[in-house]
Amino acid sequence: MTTRNMKAHLTRRYMFSASHRLHSDEMSNEENRATYGKCNNPYGHGHNYALEVTVSGPVDEATGMVCNLVDLDGFVHAQILERFDHQNLNTLPEFSGRVPTTENLCIAIFDIVKRRFHKAHLDKVRIEETMLNSFEYAGDL
């Protein structure tokens, strides 16, 4: 069987911790409390995030892989985990003028990977914020 025309998906999982406060300068304090509830706490709150990066492409006949995990792991560690782990998301340039929701965090991570990782096609980014909440972003509509 030839793998030349076969497309496969690879999803890799990473863990990081960060804090944020959900607050919009465009809304009053009352509107922020009504919109974000306890997540609008002035002192913020933290999460242990589980990040999944899904890439795809043809299976290389020589290696049998979509992409080398060493390449993907090295990229995510240097460009994503080093940037976001143990950070207050509100203070980062990615969230200047944007509320650091996990939806916006997905978009920010997707954009970084899309612009800079060229060893496979980026399909989506998924982040588990809690056992009950997860978010995905797969690019513009």
Catalytic residues: 39, 86, 129
Four-point Cα dihedral 91, 122, 133, 92, nearest 10:
0
Token readout for 33 is: 């409390």
